[in-house]
Structure 1
């Protein structure tokens, strides 16, 4: 399973993903689900993926190959004039990859399910930072004032804290802390999401990561966040009014 979050701020974009792809007593695999490409001073593009590993790795590999191919061949995300067209390229590639793998395995009974989704974040010079959620069918939606963040994978456990604490004017530091709390809540509830975590901060008009970090389970700051959040929840719970079982309706 997977949990990835992309968040829009006035200052830019903050992204976080886990790295676990398989879970079991003796079968845990770690792969990066966050990737980025940049042209200094001109654009930065980052994607996070969820879904069938073979599908997502194929999409990332094809995107990488296209960035190195001659301009007259397949369209490259490093040449697209807008982030909307970048989303269109990735959406088309995603649905083609899923279709090709389904067709090649249609004769297999009980074979793997080839599906995936993508969070796309980035900025092209002269334009606003943008955030998209791309579905397996290739269509996509864009973040807005009403929907300022996207999640893919195991979304339900970490969503409430983001909804309650998010503020578009918040600092990168607070946004990173918020995503760590959201991720910690998911880790506590679902063993298929696991450490380490990848964090990336993209500042408006910088076109390269402002901050990029892999957070391991032994990380002192993340441990402090996890412990502090658990203690804060217990304190808040015990501060609530007590329920009286003798009171009649």
Structure 2
């Protein structure tokens, strides 16, 4: 599995991916999920993939090499939308070629992608591309995309990220999101690739591969965990069955009449231990001499 995050901000873009793949506990490998299509001064595009590794690699190769009948390619289209269409068509090409053979072997055609960057003077744009080759674009109301094991790292992004977030804060948030995922899911693993793109640069200027020795990421892992514990311990315990509004931590007030949904006791079970014979274990039956 994998976990990748792409963020579109007023200042630019942030991309973060892990590098673990696995097909069971005996087949864990390291493959980098982030690919950069860069012509410095003219375009800088990033593609991150999750899902079936062979499908992802085939799509990436087609995206890199393909030229359509009109002579258009990822290297010469003039908008990010057209570039995303080329990626989507590459997905459909691989699907036509591989999906039936995969299905015959009981394997789903499974791939998802985050694709973003900047071409010329056009603004930075970010897309999520699905297994059918269709895609959606990030806007201010939804300024980030995740693929792979998204659920563990989503809460921190939802609380922190908005279009005005600075690139450094967004990178920090992405790394915290990744750390939360690493702690909760063994199918995501180091090393990580982090690319931070400043708008109008049209080239990669800030990129790092992060392993377990990276100073900043180790600090995040230690600090974030400790700060979470500190915040948790600073929140007072709940008070039960108190008068309402007497404190901010009243969980159950005297005016509440909450009751659980109780399952009726069946007749054969008896009530209060009366009216039915006690159940015996097999060992008890042997001890009492009730052998058959």
Length-normalised TM-score, structure 1: 0.92
Q: Report the Cα distance in structure 1 between the residues aligned to 2:111 and 2:102, rounded to whole angstroms.
A: 16
Alignment correspondent of 1:96: 93
Aligned length in residues? 244
Alignment correspondent of 1:238: 233
CA deviations 1:183-232 (Å, max 9, x no partner) are: 00011111101111100011101111121110001212111101101101
Q: Is the 8 A contact 2:34 2:47 kept in 1?
A: yes
Question: SS where residue 164 of structure 2 aligns?
Answer: coil
Question: SS where residue 239 of structure 2 aligns?
Answer: coil
Q: Is the 8 A contact 1:91 1:140 kept in 2?
A: yes
Alignment correspondent of 1:132: 127
Coordinate RMSD, CA, aligned: 1.8
Q: Is the 8 A contact 1:5 1:149 kept in 2?
A: yes
What pairs with 1:52-63 in structure 2 (closer than 5 Å)?
52-63=52-63
1:25 Cα deviation after fit? 4.6
1:212 aligns with 2:196: no
1:168 Cα deviation after fit? 2.2
Q: Report the Cα distance in structure 1 between the residues aligned to 2:43 and 2:157, rounded to whole angstroms.
A: 28
Q: Is the 8 A contact 2:63 2:86 kept in 1?
A: no
Q: Report the Cα distance in structure 2 between the residues aligned to 1:78 and 1:31, rounded to whole angstroms.
A: 24
Alignment correspondent of 2:10: 10
Q: Report the Cα distance in structure 1 between the residues aligned to 2:220 and 2:188, rounded to whole angstroms.
A: 18
Q: Which runs of 5+ in 2 are unaligned?
A: 243-251, 254-292
Greater shift in the superposed pair: 112-121 or 13-22: 112-121
Question: SS where residue 61 of structure 2 aligns?
Answer: helix
- Residues 149, 105 of structure 1: alpha-carbon distance in 2 compared, 3 angstrom cutoff: closer
Q: Report the Cα distance in structure 2 between the residues aligned to 1:246 and 1:140, rounded to whole angstroms.
A: 52
- Residues 105, 17 of structure 1: alpha-carbon distance in 2 compared, 3 angstrom cutoff: closer
1:153 aligns with 2:148: yes
Alignment correspondent of 2:245: none
Q: Which runs of 5+ in 1 are unaligned?
A: none
- 2:76 equivalent among 76, 79, 93: 79
CA deviations 1:8-33 (Å, max 9, x no partner) are: 11110000000001165543200010
Alignment correspondent of 1:21: 21
Alignment correspondent of 1:36: 36
Q: Report the Cα distance in structure 2 between the residues aligned to 1:72 and 1:134, rounded to whole angstroms.
A: 23
Question: SS where residue 15 of structure 1 aligns?
Answer: strand
Q: Report the Cα distance in structure 2 between the residues aligned to 1:24 and 1:133, rounded to whole angstroms.
A: 27
Alignment correspondent of 1:200: 195
Q: Is the 8 A contact 1:23 1:191 kept in 2?
A: no
Higher RCO (CA 8 Å, separation ≥ 6 residues): 1
Length-normalised TM-score, structure 2: 0.79
Question: SS where residue 161 of structure 1 aligns?
Answer: helix
Q: Report the Cα distance in structure 2 between the residues aligned to 1:86 and 1:150, rounded to whole angstroms.
A: 18
Greater shift in the superposed pair: 57-66 or 181-190: 57-66
Q: Report the Cα distance in structure 2 between the residues aligned to 1:106 and 1:224, rounded to whole angstroms.
A: 45
1:76 Cα deviation after fit? 1.2
